[in-house]
């Protein structure tokens, strides 16, 4: 993520204006009320993009951000923000609704209506800005979802929190073909969150189907170590048939068995090369990632990487210090 501002490099007398300029140019025009004298202000902002989606990661000392009536009226390119809380707490207010965000929670708010963000404990946030036109959500839905705390009580919101947290920190996901591939699912995931939170089945149907592949692969990643991970189990969890499961994955060029095997092997490879790779037997490491047969594990590992698990571990043995 490209650095936009680090006040450690700015003289104290210039910090307030530098912060204001960076936020207005890189994020959105807002009024900023700092709770500390200029010499004690600390702000670090990094910026990234994925297609039309702008991502801002910010850490700062305590402050209050206000999108005033005047600034909202002057909005020429209406946008919708996701504000994702990393640590501590914050308050978001819009449309006479106020929500407390805790780590892992997020809220949506629009730039075309006034809002206030209170960071009394300091800022530790990812902000993701979506063009309102790209989301194509009804105005009433956006109004009803604004400043609603979204978190673990909504499984779709919980998925979105994990997904957007990873997107915000992964440079690899935001480059080249990867970026092109995730723009539309990212937009549809926001739509799915709104639809599921508001209980609007007609609004939810299309984005839920569009994000099904993402939800399936995330579920598989989370359960790679389960020896009983199967197509039937994955399909049941997502309320679809096994046949539909294979159809959904095939659209993305994924063969379920091969995908699971390759990701399990990658985890074994990582663990064998790690600092604790010699604390357990090779067979035990294989079993911990779903390979119940040690001989089979060794065979498929060699096929994938051209070397046996033991040879790979030995190649990555820590060298004694001189």
CB-side neighbour CA atoms (13 Å) of 27 = 27
The pLDDT confidence band at residue 285, using thresholds 50, 70 and 90, is very high
Q: In what order do the strands lie in the sheet with 31-34?
A: 31-34, 63-67, 115-119, 90-94, 97-101
φ, ψ for residue 198 (rounded to 5)? -90, -5
| Mean pLDDT along residues 106-112 | 95
Q: Does the pLDDT value for residue 253 go beyond 70? A: yes
Q: Does the pLDDT value for residue 109 go beyond 70? A: yes
Q: Which CATH number fits domain 2-150: 3.40.50.1370, 2.60.120.10, 3.40.50.1220, 3.40.50.10860?
A: 2.60.120.10
Which helix H or strand E contains 84, and what residues bound it?
Answer: strand 79-85
Structure token pair of residue 139: 């105005």
Q: Mean pLDDT, the chain, as a whole number?
A: 88
Q: Does the pLDDT value for residue 128 go beyond 80? A: yes
| Mean pLDDT along residues 291-300 | 92
Q: For the stretch 218-243, what's the b/e string if a residue is b when 16 or more beta carbons lie within 10 angstroms of its beta carbon? A: eebeeebeeeebebeebbeebebeee
The pLDDT confidence band at residue 188, using thresholds 50, 70 and 90, is confident
The pTM assigned to this predicted structure is 0.65
Question: Domain-by-domain residue ranges, the chain?
Answer: 2-150, 216-254, 262-315
CATH number of the domain at 262-315, please?
A: 1.10.10
Q: For the stretch 255-290, what's the b/e string if a residue is b when 16 or more beta carbons lie within 10 angstroms of its beta carbon? A: ebeebbbebbbebbbebbeeeebeeeebbebbbbbb
The pLDDT confidence band at residue 227, using thresholds 50, 70 and 90, is confident
The pLDDT confidence band at residue 206, using thresholds 50, 70 and 90, is low
């Amino acid at each position: 993520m490209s650095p936009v501002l680090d006040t450690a490099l700015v003289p104290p007398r210039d910090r307030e204006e530098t912060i204001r300029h960076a936020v207005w140019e890189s994020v959105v025009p807002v009024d900023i009320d700092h709770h500390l004298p200029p010499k004690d202000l600390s702000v670090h902002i990094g910026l990234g993009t994925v297609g039309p989606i702008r991502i801002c990661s910010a850490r700062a000392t305590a402050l209050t951000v206000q999108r005033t009536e005047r600034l909202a009226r002057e909005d020429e390119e209406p946008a919708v923000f996701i504000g994702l809380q990393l640590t501590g707490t914050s308050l978001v207010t819009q449309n006479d609704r106020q929500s407390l965000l805790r780590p892992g929670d997020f809220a949506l708010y629009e730039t075309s209506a006034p809002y206030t963000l209170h960071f009394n404990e300091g800022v530790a946030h990812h902000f993701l800005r979506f063009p309102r036109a790209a989301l194509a959500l009804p105005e009433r839905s956006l109004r009803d979802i604004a400043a609603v705390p979204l978190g673990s009580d909504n499984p779709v919101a919980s998925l979105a929190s994990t997904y957007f947290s990873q997107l915000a920190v992964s440079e690899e996901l935001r480059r080249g073909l990867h970026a092109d591939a995730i723009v539309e699912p990212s937009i549809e995931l926001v739509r799915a969150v709104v639809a599921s939170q508001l209980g609007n089945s007609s609004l939810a149907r299309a984005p839920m189907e569009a994000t099904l592949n993402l939800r399936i692969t995330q579920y598989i990643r989370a359960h790679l170590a389960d020896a009983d991970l199967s197509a039937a189990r994955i399909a049941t969890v997502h309320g679809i048939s096994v046949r539909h499961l294979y159809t959904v994955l095939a659209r993305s060029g994924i063969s379920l068995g091969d995908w699971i095997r390759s990701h399990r092997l990658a985890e074994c490879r990582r663990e064998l090369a790690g600092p604790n790779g010699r604390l357990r037997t090779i067979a035990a490491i294989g079993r911990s990632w779903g390979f119940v047969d040690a001989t089979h594990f060794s065979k498929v590992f060699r096929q994938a990487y051209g070397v046996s698990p033991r040879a790979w571990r030995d190649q990555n043995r820590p060298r004694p210090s001189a």
